[in-house]
Amino acid sequence: MSNPKFDQSQLDVAVVGGSIAGCATAIRFSQMGYRVGIFDKKAMNDQSHKRLCTHFIQPHAVPLLAELGLAHLYEPAWSVATKAVFVTPGGVVEGPGGYVPGPPDSYALNLERRVLDPALRAAVQKQGVQYIDSTTVESIEEDESGWNLDTRGETGPRRFRARLVVAADGRRSRLAKELGNPTEHHPNERAALFGYFSGIRTREDNRSVFIMNDRDLACVYPLVEGRTQLVLFADKSRVEGWHGADGRLQQFLKYFDELPDAPSVSDAVPETGLLGYSDYPSQIRQPVVGSVPFVGDAALSVDAMSGVGCGFALVSADLLARSFTDRSLDKADLGDGLAEYRQRFEDAILPHVEGICGDSLVDKNEASRQRMFQTISGNQELSQKYLALTGRMLMPGEFQRDLMRALMTRGAAGLKR
Query: pLDDT tens, 328-373?
Result: 999 989 999 999 999 999 999 999 999 999 999 877 678 888 999 9
Same domain, 234 and 346: no
Average model confidence (pLDDT) across the chain: 92
Does residue 273 form part of some domain?
yes
Q: How confident is the model at residue 415 (pLDDT cuts 50, 70, 90)?
A: very low
Convert the pLDDT of each residue in 92-149 to its tens digit.
999 877 665 555 558 999 999 999 999 999 999 999 999 999 999 999 999 998 999 9
Residue 276 pLDDT exceeds 50: yes
Q: Which of 195, 49, 28 is nearest to 118 (CA)?
A: 49
Q: In this structure, how many other beta carbons lie within 10 angstroms of the beta carbon of residue 186?
A: 17
Does residue 95 form part of some domain?
no
Q: What is the pLDDT of residue 3?
A: 44
What is the mean predicted confidence (pLDDT) over 184-194? Answer: 96
Same domain, 411 and 267: no
Q: What is the pLDDT of residue 317?
A: 98
Q: How confident is the model at residue 52 (pLDDT cuts 50, 70, 90)?
A: confident
Convert the pLDDT of each residue in 233-254 to its tens digit.
999 999 988 988 889 999 999 9
Q: How confident is the model at residue 413 (pLDDT cuts 50, 70, 90)?
A: low
Q: How confident is the model at residue 6 (pLDDT cuts 50, 70, 90)?
A: very low
- Output Rg (C-alpha) for the chain, integer angstroms: 22
Reported as type and span, the H/E element at residue 235 is: strand 228-235
What is the mean predicted confidence (pLDDT) over 314-319? Answer: 98
Bridge partners of 270? 197
Does residue 232 form part of some domain?
yes
Measured between alpha carbons, how far is 178 from 186 in angstroms, rounded to an integer?
22
Contact 29, 36 (CB under 8 A): yes
Same domain, 210 and 307: no
- Considering 277, 302, 323, which residue would you say is the last residue of a domain? 277
The half-sphere exposure of 155 on its side-chain side, counting CA atoms within 13 A, is: 5
Measured between alpha carbons, how far is 214 from 256 in angstroms, rounded to an integer?
13
Query: How many folded domains does the chain comprise?
Result: 3
Measured between alpha carbons, how far is 90 from 366 in angstroms, rounded to an integer?
11
Same domain, 165 and 255: no
Residue count of the chain: 417
Strands (E), 240-383: 269-270, 275-277, 282-284, 288-289, 292-293, 300-301
Same domain, 253 and 213: yes
Q: How confident is the model at residue 414 (pLDDT cuts 50, 70, 90)?
A: low
Measured between alpha carbons, how far is 137 from 329 in angstroms, rounded to an integer?
22
What is the mean predicted confidence (pLDDT) over 167-178? Answer: 97
Reported as type and span, the H/E element at residue 158 is: strand 156-167
Same domain, 222 and 294: no
Same domain, 196 and 267: yes
- Considering 335, 354, 373, which residue would you say is the last residue of a domain? 354
Measured between alpha carbons, how far is 244 from 380 in angstroms, rounded to an integer?
45
Does residue 81 form part of some domain?
no
Measured between alpha carbons, how far is 373 from 386 in angstroms, rounded to an integer?
10
Q: What is the pLDDT of residue 5?
A: 43
Measured between alpha carbons, how far is 140 from 137 in angstroms, rounded to an integer?
7
Q: How confident is the model at residue 225 (pLDDT cuts 50, 70, 90)?
A: very high
Q: Which of 403, 293, 369 is nearest to 14 (CA)?
A: 293
Q: What is the pLDDT of residue 4?
A: 42
- Whole-structure pTM value: 0.94
Percent of the chain whose predicted confidence (pLDDT) is above 70: 94
Same domain, 46 and 152: yes
Measured between alpha carbons, how far is 151 from 132 in angstroms, rounded to an integer?
10
Per DSSP, 43 falls in state -
* Paired sense of beta strands 91-94 and 56-57, if any: unpaired
Same domain, 218 and 265: yes
Reported as type and span, the H/E element at residue 209 is: strand 208-213
| Residue ranges making up the domain that contains 409 | 364-416
Measured between alpha carbons, how far is 171 from 220 in angstroms, rounded to an integer?
26
- Considering 334, 354, 374, which residue would you say is the last residue of a domain? 354
Percent of the chain whose predicted confidence (pLDDT) is above 90: 84
Q: What is the CATH number of the domain that holds 237?
A: 3.30.9.100
Same domain, 230 and 290: no
Q: What is the pLDDT of residue 102?
A: 54
What is the mean predicted confidence (pLDDT) over 26-49? Answer: 95
